[in-house]
Structure 1
């Protein structure tokens, strides 16, 4: 496929999961993909896979939540690769403590920095060039935690993902007349490495029925490859089968609680 020939796409959090699959699909459609992440080894492996399939990829090792990192990344890409046509805000993280009763302020801020502030800074950095050229696509991977927040994702994650959904809607309303497409993808429970950090990591049989990273990547790819006249403003990608998460929610409720915080009847249950 060649829908994106000559275009430059930046994908954050490209080292694994949804970001990795998204980079593969965009490169397969002809885009030069700048793959961004904190760990060089997975990015090297991804670049090799893209190039073996005849695509083009450029590695940029960066922590987008660090001071000045978002603006510096966009400046590097513009100088060394070319004008950015597509920005995929995919990088994300959740807190280890999920209940706001026990959640430390520094952990709250860290989640907000990656999931919300970095999206704002990266989007702000690409907007002037896109407006000047008369078009561009900004796609942000949010979460259904933005719509129905709970203890699986945690307080900070849900708030951040709701924030980026709101921000993408703002960009769409404000800059659509400039040819800017601002798109939110909202995955439901997905089988990504972030699940390994859950209070109770799901079993393989549970993960098999979840949304897979490539499913989300296909939604991103569709949004990016539609004609510029059309925008998929918001896309929900959810599991067909809904599993019972009541036990997981209860475990998550007490994760990080101080000694003696849990009622006696709960501890003996």
Structure 2
């Protein structure tokens, strides 16, 4: 299967408001039946945020691949080289700005939180019929909803009365699905019981930790399979062997990774 060129007009729609003005915004919406790959090394004047509502993104800025999970986007400051990849049957929004969100001052590239309202407004302005005044008002709220990386990791989570433990673990694992940390080890780091952490996973995600991690790894794998051999992908997402990965993939999707 070949990756889809991101400039194909059949999968890319453009929505521009106030273009030419520092306060403008351009949103590119990509939809494809196969994988998407974005690569930027140009010297331009546009900051960029990549965000997907329905799957992880694999990002490359520097020597290693890092994943961006739910509730996050990938920020790239203007003129910073980067690559972003999305899986098959995934929608990706690429938000181009001349102004940098206040919370991201000094950040060259990396995963950043995107709050629910900002996410909603991104989809709102990437629709036909949205007027410019509405879009430019939404732009201000979108910038406010793109937050700086908290850098706290799972160690500092869960201070809000027994909730948030699963979300902290999920965010950490979303960046590195191959992380082999067991549930009991996460519980020790968070200073909670295994039972409490497992219960929080079921409450937040409707499934236990091991099931959630398996789905995360397989979704991350789908992003990479169009670009790397099965053995490489298996290692990248945390499987000890290609055969273990193929077994898990077939069990979940009903076919092997090579027949998607």
TM normalised by structure 2 equals 0.29
In proportion to residue count, which structure has more strand?
A: 2
